[in-house]
Amino acid sequence: MSAKRKLSLPAWIFIGMLAGIAVGLCFLGNPEFTTNYIKPVGTIYINLLKFLVVPVVLFSITDGVISLNDLKRVGDVGVKTFLYYLCTTAVAVVIGLALTSACKGLFAPLGDGALGDLTYEAKEAPAVMDVIVNIFPDSFFKPMVEANMLPLIVTAILLGAGILSAGEKGQKIGEIVNAMTEVIMKMMMMIIQITPIGVFCLMTNVVAVNGPKIVGTLALVIGIAYVGYILHICLVYGFSVRFLSGMKMTDFLKGMAPAMITAFTTTSSNATLPVNMECCNKLGAEPEISSFVLPLGATINMDGTAIYQAVAAIFIASCYGMELTLSQMGMVVLTATLASIGTAGVSGAGMLMLAMVLETIGLPVEGIALIAGVDKIFDMGRTTLNITGDASCAILISKLDRKKKAAKAGA
Ligand code: ASP
């Protein structure tokens, strides 16, 4: 057997990432070649993943709802999942705020001159109520064509609920949905095979483009965000995985490594969804639970994004020589939690939603320009955290569901 066949896919993904860093370092200061010739190959990989996102979300959530078998169980799993997502995200914002507040003495306010020539063109941040109203689609097909995740999830849940309530006739459609899910999963497996190449190409370009920029204060803020990401994994997911789900954290992280590396390099929770499902199911999540919990999480659960928004808000405030009051911090917790729910699981979306947080607490949105240049580096970590949180939820809800089933069977 050749060496290539002996190595597992996760090992190849890891090699792809290391090789990407090494080659990227060779192109430091001269990123044109990587941007023009290597990155496009990575873009092909991301396109292929994205191409699957709408069918994966639509069919897997609908199939997840159907396989939960009764509407009460859908409601039960849905409520638990939502509560888990909401609480962990709020904790994430608090971690981000506490860490950055503790270190803010290290950020020197920038002089007027330095801030005067900021050129970030802020897109208008959506109003909170608009975010909520837009969750509910006014067309069956539009969310699919526009790959608009929140309305797509609502469509899938309603479709699943309709199929469940339609009895015998619904069953026929249910079988088709189930068969389609199987087909989509097979397509997904084919695309996942080229992950090492995609990861290599994306990593090469990130290192070549961003290498020199990560100096001084920016390196410090990035460092703080990453400490926050790691703390959140250790404290929140560590608690959930070890004490609530009863799984060794090392086993969890080992099983999750392929998905985490994919998230780190693609910077898209949506694109990572297929790999995440595969990892969770291998770790023992119930497939019907993970096909409901993970697509939902890829869209609404963004703990990494929430930490990043808290860190960025305090950093930008310090650069403008402003100090956040306690009530402003409370507003950050609220808006960053909401903003992270409204953030699409795609590359860079968290930075756009940061505008909503800054606006709510009265900070200049142009401040985003201070960190926009290295947003990719923040995004790599926050996306990794985002999908890890979804996975910890899928493992926990699966365990609770198994327990409930066993109790029912015993009764
Ligand atoms: N890239 C992140 C994700 O896909 C979203 C963000 O930009 O914060 O999870």
**Higher per-residue pLDDT: 347 or 122:** 347
Is the CA virtual torsion 68, 71, 75, 76 positive or negative?
Answer: negative
What integer pLDDT is reported at residue 116 of this predicted model? 45
CA 264 to chain centre: 10
For the cut 70, the answer to whether the pLDDT of residue 94 exceeds it is yes
> Apex CA 105: angle with CA 99 and CA 109, to 5°?
115
> Do the Cβ atoms of 214 and 374 come closer than 8 Å?
yes
Asked whether the predicted pLDDT for residue 252 surpasses 60, the reply is yes
**Topology of 2-410 in CATH?**
Proton glutamate symport protein (1.10.3860)
The number of C-alpha atoms within 13 Å of 163 and in the hemisphere containing its C-beta is 25
**Nearest residue to 298 via CA among 276, 266, 265:** 276
Does the pLDDT of residue 193 top 90, yes or no? no
| DSSP state for residue 304 in the 8-state scheme | H
Report yes or no: 281 and 194 within 8 Å, Cβ to Cβ: no
Protein residue with its CA nearest to atom 1 in ligand 1: 347
* 77/80 Cα distance (integer angstroms): 5
Q: For residue 110, is pLDDT > 70? A: no
Q: What is the pLDDT of residues 194-234, one digit of tens each?
A: 888 988 998 888 788 776 655 567 788 899 999 999 999 99
CA angle, residues 100, 105, 109, in degrees to nearest 5: 100
The conformation of residue 127, written as its DSSP 8-state character, comes to: P
Q: Give nearest CA residue, ligand 1 atom 6.
A: 350
What DSSP assignment string belongs to 18-34? HHHHHHHHHTTT-THHI
Alpha carbon distances (Å) from 273 to 20, 24, 104, 391: 22, 26, 35, 10
The ligand 1 atom nearest the CA atom of 387: 9
Reported as a single tens digit per residue, the pLDDT across 277-286 is 999 999 999 9
Which one of 101-110, 149-158, 336-345 scores highest in mean pLDDT?
149-158
Domain ranges of the chain: 2-410
**Of the segments 41-50, 88-97, 250-259, 323-332, which one has the largest average pLDDT value?**
250-259
Whether 284 is in the pocket of ligand 1, judged by its Cβ within 6 Å, is no
pLDDT of 370 > 80? The answer is: no
Question: How many Å lie between the centroid of ligand 1 and the Cα of residue 137?
Answer: 22
What per-residue confidence (pLDDT) applies to 128? 67
User: Does residue 382 line the site of ligand 1, with CB under 6 A?
Assistant: yes
Is the CB–ligand 1 distance for residue 348 below 6 Å? yes
For residue 21, is pLDDT > 70? yes
pLDDT at position 2, please?
47
pLDDT at 393: 97
* More confident call, 14 vs 36: 36
